[in-house]
Amino acid sequence: MRLELHKISITGLELGSVTALKGGVLTVDEKAVLEMLRTDSRFAEVAVDVARPGERTRITPVKDVVQPRCKLEGPGEVFPGFIGDVETVGSGKTLVLDGAAVVTCGQIVGFQEGIVDMSGPGAAYTPFSGTFNLVLVFTPVEGLEKHDYESACRTAGFRVAHYLASAVKTARADVVESYELPPFNVAMTAHAGLPKVAYLYMLQSQGLLHDTYVYGVDAKRIIPTLIHPNEVMDGAIVSGNCVSACDKNSTFSHQNNPVIRALYARHGRDINFVGCIITNENVTLADKKRSSSYAVKLASMLGVEGLIISEEGFGNPDTDLIMNCRKAENSGMKTVLITDEYAGRDGASQSLADACKEADAVVTGGNANEMILLPPMEKVIGFPTFVNVIAGGYEGALREDGSLLVELQAITGATSELGFSRISTCTK
């Protein structure tokens, strides 16, 4: 399967009367976007705004971030099961508005949405301070059930992301990247002498708004399965997740999964990257046992020698992470885990809820409990009072001058367990 990503570098974002691209500046037809979103009767009100890197702007509560993409060639359409039909994606050509993002805001669970600061100390902790963000703020109709609100916000983000890319389809790409992995019969004998490696990709599926979708299917209903990494780039995996902001995988970070990129980068040189296995993080013991055994069995069937295992969320999913690790190591595979930590505000506590001696190679995305003072911003997009109740915030976190004293937990993508950020943790 071969996929070309045709990347256009976005260097500016404006609201205007027609959606167009000129010299890297994306102008968005505000009226068209609003009209499109207002067809959804679940929203009482929709607002559109813009946040650019370096601006003194705070966005909160952030639900999801989506990168504008659409298919140029090849079967299917991006976000299969939501925008595209449930046709297999991951081959042909896909247009990417690199440097742009659609940020959705809603007060769905309140305590499980995040903060994105476009400048100041908080900006260093979120990847989305560096993107030109089209921010969509959704107010639900009265009495709308939370699951419906989440679903409405989720789909709206995909629609706008797809719309933006589609509207500038004829523009010329600045960069074309190609990604290709051969079928297994070829992969198994390719790159003699290099170790075969797979990626075990854990998807948040604890339920009750902690959900991830694969081709539109709720991940808690899947049995671990194989997916081509290119499918992920076309939005086959999307976030429906309202868990703590710091380590939930936004749709953007799925589309740009850095583990997949890093494995591709070393493919054929240091490793033979043969594929991706997705698994879930369900809450019952039977599900945990079944999924970890099944996922590791798939890796064994592929005959891989090494596995990168990435977690999503914390606490309960730590047990899935450790089960995956222990079973894989005991089956003779070498593992490296990517997680983050909840070591307390002072860093003195144990970081994970589970551990095993086999987990001797761990990458951490940081201690999510560490505190950060976010100074007041000139402009706040969204619903700022929700900071008092988001995870990582607390009653009184929002001070009178508009500054916030919160845990990193409250910052969108701060301690990404896909290894998106450059944060790590050491023991002092």
Partner 1 sequence: MSFRVVHYINQFFAGIGGEDKADVPPELRQGVVGPGQALAAALGSEAQVVATVICGDGYFAENLEKATADILQMIRSCNPDAVVAGPAFNAGRYGTAAGAVCAAVSKELGIPAVTGMYPENPGVDMFRKSAVIAKTADSARGMKDAVPAMARLVLKLLRKEELGSPEAEGYLEQGLRKNFFTDVTGAERAVEMLVNKLAGKPFVTEYPMPVFDRVAPNPPLKDLANATIALVTSGGICPKGNPDHIEASSATKYGEYGLEEFDLLTASSHETAHGGYDPTYANNDPNRVLPVDVMREMEKEGVFKKLYGKFFTTVGNGTPVANAKRFGAEIAAKLKKDGVDAVILTST
For residue 315, state whether it binds partner 1 (rule: CB under 8 A): no
Q: Give the whole-angstrom CA distance, residue 369 versus residue 366.
A: 9
We find the least distance from the C-beta atom of residue 238 to partner 1, in angstroms, to be: 19
Four-residue CA torsion sign, 137, 143, 146, 149: negative
Q: Give the whole-angstrom CA distance, residue 220 versus residue 302.
A: 23
**Helix (H/G/I), strand (E/B), else coil: 82:** coil
User: Which residues 110-129 are close enough to bind partner 1 by CB under 8 A?
Assistant: 124
Among 88, 139, 305, 402, binds partner 1 (CB under 8 A): 305
Among 12, 24, 92, 347, binds partner 1 (CB under 8 A): 347
x/- string (CB under 8 A) for partner 1, residues 164-183?
--------------------
Q: In this structure, what token pair is assigned to residue 337?
A: 């885990």
x/- string (CB under 8 A) for partner 1, residues 248-287?
----------xx-xxx-xx---xx----------------
Task: Output 26 or 410, the one with its CB closest to partner 1.
Answer: 410
Among 89, 100, 161, 408, binds partner 1 (CB under 8 A): 408
For residue 195, state whether it binds partner 1 (rule: CB under 8 A): yes
Window of 105-113, 170-178, 299-307, 376-384 that interacts with partner 1 by CB under 8 A: 299-307
For residue 420, state whether it binds partner 1 (rule: CB under 8 A): yes
Among 26, 277, 295, 423, binds partner 1 (CB under 8 A): 423
Q: Give the whole-angstrom CA distance, residue 368 versus residue 428.
A: 17
Strand partners, 373: 405
For residue 237, state whether it binds partner 1 (rule: CB under 8 A): no
Instruction: Tell me 388's DSSP state.
Output: G
For residue 406, state whether it binds partner 1 (rule: CB under 8 A): no
Q: In this structure, what token pair is assigned to residue 279?
A: 């698994």
- Decide if 424 contacts 408 (C-beta within 8 A): no
Place of tokens 């703590």: 244
Q: Give the whole-angstrom CA distance, residue 50 versus residue 48.
A: 7
Q: Are strands 2-9 and 92-98 parallel, antiparallel or unpaired?
A: parallel
Where does 138-183 have alpha helices with state H? 146-167
Among 197, 227, 302, 404, binds partner 1 (CB under 8 A): 197
Neighbours of 313 (CB within 10 A): 25
Task: Output 155 or 239, the one with its CB closest to partner 1.
Answer: 239
Task: Output 238 or 337, the one with its CB closest to partner 1.
Answer: 337
Residues 6+ apart with CB under 8 A from 332: none
Residues 6+ apart with CB under 8 A from 192: none
We find the least distance from the C-beta atom of residue 251 to partner 1, in angstroms, to be: 17
For residue 427, state whether it binds partner 1 (rule: CB under 8 A): yes
Task: Output 168 or 359, the one with its CB closest to partner 1.
Answer: 359
- What amino acid positions are annotated as catalytic residues? 242
* Interface size with partner 1, residues (CB under 8 A): 60
Window of 75-83, 170-178, 288-296, 351-359 that interacts with partner 1 by CB under 8 A: 351-359
- Decide if 99 contacts 132 (C-beta within 8 A): yes
- Counting Cα atoms < 13 Å in the Cβ hemisphere of 72 gives 21
- Decide if 254 contacts 97 (C-beta within 8 A): no
x/- string (CB under 8 A) for partner 1, residues 356-395?
xx-xxxxxxxxx--x-------------------------
Instruction: Tell me 411's DSSP state.
Output: B
Residue 411: Cβ-neighbour burial (10 angstroms; 0-12, 13-18, 19+): buried
Task: Output 150 or 318, the one with its CB closest to partner 1.
Answer: 318
Residues that bind partner 1 (CB under 8 A): 124, 195, 197, 258-259, 261-263, 265-266, 270-271, 305-308, 310, 334-339, 341, 343-344, 346-352, 355-357, 359-367, 370, 408, 416-428
